[in-house]
Structure 1
């Protein structure tokens, strides 16, 4: 069956907005989830903004956030995000919480937002 809709959950990971500084996305709880990926959408870049994106993980979701090791993350995002682009970041780690981290190297701003896509252990998804 070609039913992806009933087998995934979409959670807002970074609210779409004009980002002018580094930003941490929402803590995504992976309890009861088998896999997780993030889809990042960018829009206009102003003032030669240079922004990057990575994933962070935590056991508690409240503190202790660290960058995900390269071997536990798949990504097609370049070091400097481009305007009007879409990127994917996949998480293969084992911590309970994961979040998107937007970094700013220089410049003014970027329009960006992200969605976390998880595959719950219990399907179909309501």
Structure 2
């Protein structure tokens, strides 16, 4: 069975391979296309890979796509795992910091739960500046 370009794109994103991500997008992979597991590249990307995140977002990846089973967005995942650079980038590309998952948690709630204080401080500062 041959993999779709979207499967290849999500695999490259999981592996943090920005050169391959760029090549696949150039070859016509749909940035918001779903892989065989129903996920987009932004949903499955290596959260610490800011170059991959930037590539996907500048090519129009939807930063507010939610996991169909959990309601988690990429911002929830980045906040939970504590990758401040990725959190900042997602917010810069209009990720909604007030999005709630199926457990009614916002990204800041997950950052707090997992002890990612720098992410908590950044997300709290967004609320306070509005």
Same fold by TM (over 0.5)?
no
Structure with the bigger RCO (C-alpha within 8 Å, sep 6+) is 1
TM-score scaled by length of structure 2: 0.26
Structure showing the higher helix proportion among its residues: 2
TM-score scaled by length of structure 1: 0.27
